Amino acid sequence: MDMETIVKQTLLITGGAGFIGSNLCEHFLSKGYDVVCLDNFATGHMHNLDKCLHNENFKLIEGDIRNFDDCVKAVRGVNYVLHQAALGSVPRSLEDPITTNDVNVSGFLNMLTAARDEKVKRFVYAASSSTYGDSEGLPKVEDVIGKPLSPYAITKYVNELYAEIFSKTYGLETIGLRYFNVFGRKQDTNSAYAAVIPKFVQQLMRLESPLINGDGTYSRDFTYIDNVIQMNELAISTVNASAVNTVYNTACGDRNTLNELMQYLKAYLSKYDSKINDVEILYGVNRKGDIPHSLASIDKAKTLLGYDPKFSLEEGLKEAVDWYWNNLKEKK
């Protein structure tokens, strides 16, 4: 796609005020796209959009994907949808499965239907590695999944089933991106369901002892935000017919234990405050719904989309730690 073509393209990013969504908004505005953001600010933040709000190519719609009229309004005149809006978190879904289902399933179906009716070119959506459930094989390969281990995982699997049906029945092009433990700038540290990396970073910055669930030997495929942005860009730009109407692991293709993660965080944060090196790490019980190990095969994304992740865990953590140190208002 040349620049002249790109300038004429309009993207809708649902959940655009969230962690991943706001990074996508900034990126695609910088590439010359017109960007529409739909968010109800249940978990997103207006400050995440500070760099977007005064851009003439940016439009903010405050609305809820559970409201079909809001979805219809948001997709009007849109070429591509990047659907990021969801209620994340396994623990939250265990505490409140009904709301998780309303947002992640009913809201998703609303968006698919609105996109179909508007004849949107392609619908790219945030899927989840939680779909692999109790499947024990490593690395995780897209066409081999197990049974879900949480209400959240069920909702994300149902998303994939609905997307497949809309592709087959209505001809709507869909691509699902199964995110693996995404981290990076603007990830919320203050949520009750904060992801492990921003939570640990804030605790270490305050010289508080982080609590690792389990003995720290559980491992994850931690994936830096810029790798995720690359996958979204490839998903909307591919002209390979065999690359659409399917799902892709969106990951680094490597795994690290929580103990290794903590060592990296201590090392990178200690350059700002040497006392962080001496913070004691606490260990607790394993969390319900957690799988012991997660590692993605990214061969499919490499082959069909040309995916080439630029950031390893260490490289991404260095950037994320610098961002957090310079941007967190409360450091102690």
Residues in contact with 278: Cβ distance below 8 Å, sequence separation at least 6, in sequence order = none
Q: Using CA atoms, how far apart are residues 3 and 18, in angstroms rounded to an integer?
A: 27
Active site residue 307: no
Dihedral sign for Cα atoms in the order 28, 30, 34, 37: positive
What does the buried/exposed string (b/e) look like for 284-313 if buried means 16 or more CB atoms within 10 Å of the residue's CB?
eeeeebbbeebbbbbebbeebbebebebbb
Please tell me which residue in 125, 152, 224, 248 is annotated as part of the active site. 152
CA neighbours closer than 13 Å in the CB half-sphere of residue 322:
5
- Tokens at 180, concatenated: 């693996």
Helix, strand, coil % in the chain, rounded to nearest 5:
45, 15, 40
249 and 227 Cβ atoms separated by less than 8 Å: no
- Active site positions, annotated: 152
